[in-house]
Amino acid sequence: MKHVGTIVVLSLLTGGAQVLAAQDSTQAPATAAAPAATATPVTIDDAVVAKSVVDRQPQDTASTFPTDVAQLICWSKVTGAGGTSIHHVWFHGDTQVGDVELQVGGSPWRTWSRKTVPADWTGAWHVEIRDASGAVLKRIDFTVGQ
């Protein structure tokens, strides 16, 4: 009997049987298609600047805040970043004044960062919400004291 595909050789070694296999090298090897990696995109479902957070919800949101605000919060709801992190990068004008890394424990996930706002730092501000690789997912512009 002639076998084209696989040759099986049985040999007895010290009282036991061992199976050895050889593959026919004249046939093209079968290639299994690798499953496509489907990474969930990181999205910002909602993001605001607020004066406070109560019960994980932003309070007193606005786009203009008084000079004496003292502290502001960037609150965001993110989807698709579970097990990674995002960054809230704070800017006064064009000068970066803070970069807060926030761990994301699930999807969706609510998280926030706080920034002290000195009374003399008036004018244009913005916060960029970035994914772990640094890509900007959302930008929030706001003004202090004007």
Tens place of pLDDT per residue across the chain (146 aa)? 444 443 333 333 344 444 333 333 344 444 444 444 456 789 999 999 999 999 999 999 999 999 999 999 999 999 998 899 999 999 999 999 999 999 999 999 999 999 999 999 999 999 999 999 999 999 999 999 97
3-state secondary structure of 69: helix
Q: How far is CA 3 from CA 27, 34, 93, in A?
A: 14, 30, 77
Q: Tell me, what amino acid is at 53?
A: V
CA dist., res. 6 & res. 2, Å (int): 10
Q: How far is CA 94 from CA 15, 74, 118, 132, in A?
A: 80, 18, 16, 22
Q: Which domains does the chain have, with CATH numbers?
A: 43-144 (2.60.40.2550)
What predicted TM-score, i.e. pTM, was given to this entire model?
Answer: 0.73
- Nearest of 104, 114, 58, 96 to residue 80 by alpha carbon: 104
